[in-house]
């Protein structure tokens, strides 16, 4: 873990605060279950998170990890809930020449979400939007094959879907995933993370039926500060986690 954790560790023990938010942005039950920070690693964070999600066991729940670090956390959640595990990928569509500005996103399943305000205000030609979409979808399909092989994506419709990441900085990727999932008609969309800045949770709740976050430390600075071990996750580790989950499910 980066040495920066030492700066905070003495002040962090017991500072974690579980927060849950409903779809209308109301805080639910905040402060009832303190956690200790930093988490030792992603697996430990996943085990803590799974305890807050046990109510979804036995609901034909699907747990989707956002690669790559989110898949490690999601694997622990899925194992605890007895739920199916899969990955969910999101790729931003950047405005040409201003790639940091998103004019939309594509996601697993070929879903596309466009920001018409950005497209119209900048006068982005539709041909440019289509070309960017095709490139992003090709990249997404390649990454999905890397992680999943030829196995099809898990079905989403009429299921409780828990989307998991190892933490949020801006929440942009999680929000894009939740928005994309809406068109796939899940029964319920739950965003679940071990750690995030407090100020982004109400915004995230606009895109989810429920948001569960174990800790909202301040100052937040970066996700990696709240883990002792935040080693980058390899593609092979993601593949192995998915293989192990399939074997455990008898697939």
> How far apart, in whole angstroms, are the C-alpha atoms of residue 22 and residue 224?
27
Tell the residue number behind the tokens 């690693």, with chain if given: 41
> How far apart, in whole angstroms, are the C-alpha atoms of residue 192 and residue 46?
10
Share of the chain above pLDDT 70, in %: 86
Least confidently predicted of 13-22, 24-33, 40-49, 128-137: 13-22
Q: Which two tokens stand for residue 65?
A: 């990890």
> How far apart, in whole angstroms, are the C-alpha atoms of residue 20 and residue 24?
12
Domain(s) labelled CATH 3.30.1310.20 in the chain stretch across: 90-146
In terms of Cα–Cα distance, which of 126, 128, 103, 106 is closest to 116?
103
> How far apart, in whole angstroms, are the C-alpha atoms of residue 11 and residue 72?
27
In terms of Cα–Cα distance, which of 164, 147, 158, 163 is closest to 236?
147
The CATH class, in words, for 5-89+150-248 is alpha beta
In tens, the pLDDT along 233-250 reads 999 999 999 999 999 877
CB 77 within 8 A of CB 171: no
pLDDT at 168: 95
pLDDT at 104 over 90: no
In tens, the pLDDT along 15-29 reads 333 444 433 344 443
CATH of segment(s) 90-146? 3.30.1310.20
In the sheet with 62-65, reading across from the earlier edge strand, the strands are 27-28, 19-22, 210-215, 188-195, 160-164, 62-65, 84-87
If you average pLDDT over residues 117-137, what whole number do you get? Answer: 93
Tell the residue number behind the tokens 């609901």, with chain if given: 59
If you average pLDDT over residues 169-192, what whole number do you get? Answer: 93
In tens, the pLDDT along 194-214 reads 999 999 999 899 999 999 999
Beta strand 84-87 pairing with 62-65: parallel
Strands (E), 132-237: 160-164, 188-195, 210-215
How many other C-beta atoms lie within 10 A of the C-beta of residue 15?
Answer: 15
pLDDT at 11: 30
Domain(s) labelled CATH 3.40.50.2020 in the chain stretch across: 5-89+150-248
pLDDT at 188: 97
> How far apart, in whole angstroms, are the C-alpha atoms of residue 211 and residue 191?
5
Q: Which residues of 78-101 are buried (b: 16+ CB within 10 A; e: fewer)?
A: bbbbebbbbbbbbbbbbbeeeeee
Top-confidence range, 31-35, 80-84, 109-113: 80-84
If you average pLDDT over residues 215-228, what whole number do you get? Answer: 95
């Amino acid at each position: 873990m980066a040495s920066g954790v030492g700066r905070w560790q003495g002040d962090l023990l017991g500072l974690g605060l579980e927060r849950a938010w409903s779809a209308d942005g109301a805080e639910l039950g905040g402060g009832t279950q303190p956690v200790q920070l930093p988490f030792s690693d992603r697996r430990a964070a996943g085990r803590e998170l799974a305890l807050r999600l046990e109510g979804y066991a036995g609901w034909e729940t699907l747990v989707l990890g956002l690669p790559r670090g989110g898949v490690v956390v999601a694997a622990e959640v899925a194992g605890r809930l007895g739920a199916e595990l899969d990955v969910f990928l999101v790729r931003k569509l950047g405005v040409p020449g201003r790639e940091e500005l998103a004019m939309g996103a594509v996601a697993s399943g070929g879903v596309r979400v466009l920001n018409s305000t950005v497209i119209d205000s900048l006068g982005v030609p539709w041909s440019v939007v289509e070309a960017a979409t095709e490139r992003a979808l090709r990249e997404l399909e390649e990454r999905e094959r890397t992680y999943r092989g030829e196995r099809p994506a898990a079905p989403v419709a009429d299921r409780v879907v828990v989307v998991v990441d190892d933490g949020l900085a801006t929440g942009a990727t999680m929000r894009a995933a939740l928005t994309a999932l809406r068109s796939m008609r899940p029964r319920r969309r739950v965003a679940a993370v071990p750690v995030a800045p407090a100020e982004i949770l109400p915004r995230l709740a606009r895109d989810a039926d429920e948001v569960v976050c174990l800790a909202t430390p301040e100052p937040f600075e970066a996700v990696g500060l709240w883990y002792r071990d935040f080693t980058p996750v390899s593609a092979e580790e993601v593949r192995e986690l998915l293989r192990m989950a399939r074997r455990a499910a008898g697939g």
